[in-house]
Amino acid sequence: MSKFEFPTSIISRPVYGTLEPRDGSAHLMIADATGAQAILDVATPDMMAKAHIIYIPKGAEFGHRLRALNPAQYYEGPSYAAAEQRIAKAFGDAKMGLQVYLSGSEGVMGQAQHAAMQAGVPHTAIQTEHRGSTARRMQCVHCKGITEDVATDPFQCSHCGLHLFVRDHYSRRLAAYQGVNIDAEDPGNVPEAKGIYE
């Protein structure tokens, strides 16, 4: 799958690169859906001997190809929430020299990057590559609820029901973009929803 070229935006918006193999004492690879392709592109037998792959398929069919890489550890789960304990343990058990590879959707990469930073992994040891969905993980600034996989602007908060404007402001602490009430000053005047990148 080709990589999406994100338009230029504000400074808080994450910028993604391309995964590359690095020397390290261990390799933690976290991906969802078609993010698996980035892992397949970067994997080498030497890396796999020291690799822990955590994969969230979201309907994609890459699990068998990732397992065929023969990583030292492999986990496949239905959601980031289901994998969260394993991810926390992987970071908790990490030794100096760990290299982290994150690929797939912004939501999964953001949450995993936050977990890595909380565990003290240096930012220079974390790589990200966006692959797949451009849907966003959004936080309603009014009720603080998180809505996953938002693909339209405006969208309706899944927690409080407000119609929210999709902003480019990104919170690394929350691993989410911020949504603001779009009709606060003119209730009921909600523009027709369109794709975020249309």
What ranges in the chain are assigned the alpha helix state H?
A: 36-42, 45-48, 63-67, 80-92, 106-118
Distances (CA, A) of 140 to 114, 173, 177, 179, 198: 19, 15, 9, 5, 22
CB 33 within 8 A of CB 58: yes
* Element (DSSP H or E) covering residue 57: none
The answer to whether the predicted template modeling score (pTM) of the entire model surpasses 0.85 is: yes
Does 19 score more than 60 pLDDT? yes
Overall residue count recorded for the chain in this entry: 198
Band (pLDDT 50/70/90 cuts) for residue 17 is very high
pLDDT surpasses 80 at 3 = no
Query: Does 59 have pLDDT greater than 80?
Result: yes
Q: Phi and psi dihedrals of 194, rounded to 5?
A: -140, 165
Domains of the chain: 26-130 (3.40.50.80), 136-191 (no CATH)
Mean pLDDT of the chain: 94
3-state SS assignment for residue 146 = strand
b/e code 178-189 from CB counts within 10 Å (16+ = b) = bbebbeeeeeee
Residue 186: is its pLDDT beyond 70?
yes
Given a contact cutoff of 8 angstroms between Cβ atoms, the answer to whether 182 and 190 are in contact is: yes
Let me know: does 14 contact 106? Beta carbons within 8 Å: yes
Stretch 114-120: mean pLDDT? 95
Mean pLDDT across the stretch 164-180? 94
Per-residue pLDDT at 129 exceeds 70: yes
Name, in order, each residue with C-beta under 8 angstroms of 83's C-beta and a sequence gap of 6 or more.
30, 54, 56, 75, 77
Residue 11, pLDDT score: 84
**128 within 8 A of 103, measured Cβ to Cβ:** yes
CA distance 19 to 38: 7
What is the pLDDT, as a whole number, of residue 1? 45
Number of H helices and E strands in the chain, helices first, is: 5, 12
- Give per-residue pLDDT as tens, 68-106: 999 999 999 999 999 999 999 999 999 999 999 999 999
User: Looking at residues 184-192, what average pLDDT do you find?
Assistant: 94
Q: Which position has the token pair 């969230």?
A: 56
